[in-house]
Amino acid sequence: MLSADIAPPLGRAIAEGVGIACLTWLLSRLLSDPRNPWQVWDHPNARSLHAHPTPRVGGIAILIGGVIGFALLPEHPAPGLLVALGALGAIAILSWLDDRRGVSPRLRLLVHGVAACVAVLACARWPVAVLPGIRFPLAAPWAVALMTVFLVWTINLYNFMDGMDGFAGGMAVCGFGALAALALRAQDLGYARAALVIAFSALGFTISNFPPARLFMGDLGATTLGFAAGLMILIGAERGDFPVWAGLVVFSPFFVDATATLIRRLVRGEHPMAAHREHYYQRAVRLGFGHRSVVLGEYALMALCAAGAYLALGRPAGVQWAILAALAALYAFLARWIRHREGHGHNAQKASG
* pLDDT surpassing 70 at residue 353: no
pLDDT at site 66: 94
Count of Cβ atoms closer than 10 Å to residue 352 Cβ: 6
Tell me whether residue 70 is in a domain: yes
With cut-offs at 50, 70 and 90, classify the pLDDT of residue 298: very high
Once rounded to an integer, what is the mean pLDDT over residues 25-38?
Answer: 84
Tell me whether residue 14 is in a domain: yes
Once rounded to an integer, what is the mean pLDDT over residues 8-25?
Answer: 91
* pLDDT surpassing 60 at residue 126: yes
- For the chain, the domain total comes to 1
Tell me whether residue 83 is in a domain: yes
Please name the residue ranges forming H helices in the chain. Answer: 7-31, 58-72, 79-101, 105-123, 140-161, 167-185, 189-209, 218-238, 244-250, 252-267, 280-284, 291-312, 317-352
> Which is more confident, 8 or 245?
245
Residue 116 to residue 110: CA distance in whole angstroms = 10
pLDDT at site 317: 93
Q: Which domain holds residue 261?
A: 8-35+51-345
* pTM for the predicted model, two decimal places: 0.91
**255-264 contacts, C-beta under 8 A, 24 or more apart:** 255/157, 256/331, 257/161, 257/281, 258/157, 258/160, 258/161, 259/157, 260/335, 261/160, 262/160
Tell me whether residue 43 is in a domain: no
Tell me whether residue 84 is in a domain: yes
3-state secondary structure of 77: coil
- Counting residues of the chain whose pLDDT is more than 70, the rounded percentage is 91
Give Cβ neighbours of residue 310 (< 8 Å, ≥ 6 apart).
178, 181, 182, 185
Please confirm whether the linkage preceding 127 is cis (ω < 30° from 0): no
Residue 264 to residue 247: CA distance in whole angstroms = 24
- Residue-averaged pLDDT of the chain: 87
Q: Tens digits of per-residue pLDDT, 153-202?
A: 999 988 888 878 889 999 999 999 999 999 999 999 999 999 999 999 99
Residue 223 to residue 146: CA distance in whole angstroms = 19
pLDDT at site 131: 86
Once rounded to an integer, what is the mean pLDDT over residues 130-149?
Answer: 87
Q: What is the C-alpha R_g of the chain?
A: 20
Tell me whether residue 3 is in a domain: no
Q: Tens digits of per-residue pLDDT, 244-288?
A: 999 999 999 989 998 998 888 888 888 766 767 788 888 898 888
> Which is more confident, 108 or 52?
108
Tell me whether residue 350 is in a domain: no
Give Cβ neighbours of residue 18 (< 8 Å, ≥ 6 apart).
200
